[in-house]
Structure 1
Amino acid sequence: MASQPQKLRKRPEFLRVASRGRKVATSGLVLQVLKTDEEAPARVGFTVTKKVGNAVVRNRTRRRLRAALQRVARDTELASVDLVLIGRDSTRRRPFGKLIADLEHALKKGQAL
């Protein structure tokens, strides 16, 4: 990957991706993808609801999603796209190899690759 993805930080950015982007659900995660017009590095946000568990569980889930994205982004070019990865209850128990496969499948189906 040419450059590190930037972070989505503000709620309106997450809402814009949710309302205008594509949504792809897999067993391990939900991915929302919004292509942008500008030639810029990818921007990524992570979110996990309180339904998944307490703060420790949610943070662990978010770290697993971040690690999976880093592994996938190492081999692929992500640019001009906003991504939101939503952790599910199954994300924390999913074998890491399958979580990576879920993310790759979601990126291809969401046309981010």
Structure 2
Amino acid sequence: MIWRVRDRAAFAALSRARRLRRGPLTLRHVPDPQGRPPRVAYAIGRPMGGAVARNRARRRLRAAIEQLDVRLPAGAYLFGGDQGVLTMPFTELIAAVEGLVAELDEPG
């Protein structure tokens, strides 16, 4: 189960978190010591395109993240991307999301 990020404090913490990038994707993560289910937000700005393109990018990211549901550690996540999210094959998108989540364990 994946929840949404809703509270201002979580967004403030995400804005200060380290940003990881892989291909067209970006990720910011704040661990949750309480062990609640993962909470996810999406940062899809206007440079992505019109509302249809932004919504499509958000849906593609949401579907890719749902593939990782059991492997997603507790915490708040902010996923973003550029126009490559719309054009890359879905299997590559899943691999990019997996790679970003795996990088969370690396120091730095």
Question: TM-score under structure 2 normalisation?
Answer: 0.88
- 2:25 counterpart of 1:18: no
Measure, in 2, the Cα distance between the counterparts of 1:54 and 1:63: 14
* Equivalence for 1:78: 72
SS of the equivalent of 2:48 reads: coil
**1:48-59 → structure 2 map (5 Å cutoff):** 48-59=44-55
The 4+ residue runs of structure 1 with deviation greater than 6 A are none
Quick one: which of 93, 101, 107 aligns to 2:101? 107
Find the counterpart in structure 1 of residue 85 from structure 2.
91
The residue matched to 2:68 in structure 1 has which SS? Answer: helix
2:66 aligned with 1:44, yes or no? no
Aligned 8 A contact 1:23 1:110 in 2: no
SS of aligned partner of 1:51:
helix
* TM-score between the two structures when normalised by the length of structure 1: 0.84
| RMSD of Structure 2 on Structure 1 (CA) | 1.7
Q: For residues 52 and 11 of structure 1, do their structure 2 counterparts lie closer, same or farther at Cα, with a shift above 3 Å needed?
A: farther
List alignment gaps of at least 5 residues for structure 1: none
Q: Is the 8 A contact 1:22 1:110 kept in 2?
A: no
Give the aligned partner of residue 31 of structure 2: 35
Q: Compared with structure 1, are the counterparts of its residues 10 and 58 closer, same or farther at alpha carbon in structure 2 (3 Å cutoff)?
A: farther
